[in-house]
Amino acid sequence: MKKLKWYPCELHCHTIHSDGDFTVSELIETSKERGLKGICLTDHNTYSGREEAAKEKELAILQGIEWTTYFGHMLVLGADRFVEWRDAVPENIDEKMKQVHAAGGLVGIAHPYQLGTPICTGGRWDFKVKDFSLVNYMEIWSEGEPLMNSPNLRARAWWHQLLSEGFRIAPTMGRDWHRKERNKRKGACTYLLCEGDELTSKGIKDAIQKGRTSVSAGPLFYFETDKGETVGDEIEEGERTFKFTVDSERFDAFGFDYEVVPERIVLYTDNLKAAAECKINEEIRTTLNKGYYTAELYGRIGDDENELIAFTAPLYVKEK
């Protein structure tokens, strides 16, 4: 097995090729200033920035598009050809997602509970998905504000509901990045667990597809079991010890303008049931039953106590 390494990434970015203020080069430079190693270029309904982005050699860039419709915004990453979005309606969205997969692309649900009409027409997810196995990932946190606001709370609850129904959907944060200024929690991002010592666009795509993500307001947070298992893996029922890591190296190095103080960890399972809890720097020993397990990190962010700092994609458990 190749070496796995965590990389900080932003998976939802806009430029002047749609409604962003960034030029492509400005987006790239700002990403580097924040210590990001990869981004996804997801302008609204256009790929017109991809040629300029393809010239970048240091920052990994996965080409994408945000299908922007009256019924929801769907992120399409890494497709090898154009898939028609203009005829997407609630009743045919499963077929449209199948077309994306046939083109080698990934499907993501953007900000599913964003305020809709008249504030942002179509921003709320109203597509009638019949088969959620067609969805690769979902933005649980959006717009750089990872904390307990109503849209993010509802997205978190929906994600857990779908996991409990047996669907495997990677959690992500989408800053929905349009400009350098006026965005919150500048250190927040999605960390991706990828193969190799250098991040590539293929690595970004593979990590999302395999469910190897961790979402954070800044520091990297993840777990490994005593048998070396981690997010995205499938294992059999039985006892495990969870060992947690909180790595603030990037957050400290780039001097983000708020303090994060981790304090406790909660392990959640089906239907948002708390399975176990520990203090920071402790381990959890527990018996895993069929279902899924995801870890959440709580503590202080700035002056706000008991805030959700980070959470991981699930570890999946099957019957023996």
What DSSP assignment string belongs to 170-237? EEEEE--B--SSS-S-TT-EEEEEEESSS--HHHHHHHHHTT-EEEESSSEEEEEETTS--TT-EEES
Measure the CA–CA gap between 43 and 307, rounded to whole angstroms: 31
Please say if the pLDDT value at position 196 is more than 70.
yes
pLDDT in tens, 40-85: 999 999 999 999 999 999 999 999 999 999 999 999 999 999 999 9
Kindly give, in sequence order, each residue whose CB lies less than 8 Å from that of residue 293, ignoring residues fewer than 6 positions away: 267, 268, 269, 275, 314, 315, 317
CATH architecture type of domain 4-318: Alpha-Beta Barrel (3.20)
Q: Quick one: pLDDT at residue 1?
A: 53
CB atoms under 10 Å from CB of 165, counted, come to 10
CB atoms under 10 Å from CB of 114, counted, come to 20
Q: Give the rounded distance of the alpha carbon of 129 from its chain centre.
A: 20
Please say if the pLDDT value at position 119 is more than 90.
no
Query: pLDDT tier at 212 (50, 70, 90 boundaries)?
Result: very high
The mean pLDDT of 116-141, rounded to a whole number, is 89
Contact assessment for residue 108 and residue 204, using Cβ atoms and an 8 Å cutoff? no
Q: The tokens 């203020």 sit on which residue?
A: 21
Q: Encoding tokens for residue 115?
A: 């305020």
Q: Quick one: pLDDT at residue 183?
A: 78
Q: Quick one: pLDDT at residue 150?
A: 86
pLDDT in tens, 230-288: 999 999 999 999 999 999 999 999 999 999 999 999 999 998 999 999 999 999 999 99
Measure the CA–CA gap between 197 and 19, rounded to whole angstroms: 34
* Residue from 186, 30, 25, 45 nearest 110 by CA: 45
Query: pLDDT tier at 117 (50, 70, 90 boundaries)?
Result: low
Query: pLDDT tier at 147 (50, 70, 90 boundaries)?
Result: low
In this structure, the strands spanning 291-301 and 315-318 are antiparallel
Measure the CA–CA gap between 270 and 274, rounded to whole angstroms: 9
Q: Give the rounded distance of the alpha carbon of 113 from its chain centre.
A: 15
Q: Quick one: pLDDT at residue 148?
A: 62
Q: Quick one: pLDDT at residue 137?
A: 98
Percent residues over pLDDT 90 in the chain: 90
Instruction: Mark out the alpha helices in 34-126 (DSSP H runs).
Output: 50-53, 93-102
Sheet of 220-225, strands arranged across: 220-225, 238-247, 284-288
Q: Quick one: pLDDT at residue 39?
A: 98
Query: pLDDT tier at 121 (50, 70, 90 boundaries)?
Result: confident
**Which range (51-60, 147-156, 182-191, 204-213) has the least confidence?**
147-156
Query: pLDDT tier at 115 (50, 70, 90 boundaries)?
Result: confident
Measure the CA–CA gap between 108 and 244, rounded to whole angstroms: 27
Please say if the pLDDT value at position 122 is more than 90.
no
Measure the CA–CA gap between 233 and 205, rounded to whole angstroms: 17
β partners of residue 61 = 39
User: Domain limits of the chain?
Assistant: 4-318
Say what the pTM is. Answer: 0.97
Please say if the pLDDT value at position 222 is more than 70.
yes
Q: Quick one: pLDDT at residue 144?
A: 61
pLDDT in tens, 88-105: 999 999 999 999 999 999
Please say if the pLDDT value at position 184 is more than 60.
yes
Kindly give, in sequence order, each residue whose CB lies less than 8 Å from that of residue 88, ignoring residues fewer than 6 positions away: 67, 69, 71, 74, 96, 127
Please say if the pLDDT value at position 20 is more than 80.
yes
* Helix, strand, or coil (residue 38): strand
In this structure, the strands spanning 284-288 and 238-247 are antiparallel
Contact assessment for residue 209 and residue 106, using Cβ atoms and an 8 Å cutoff? yes
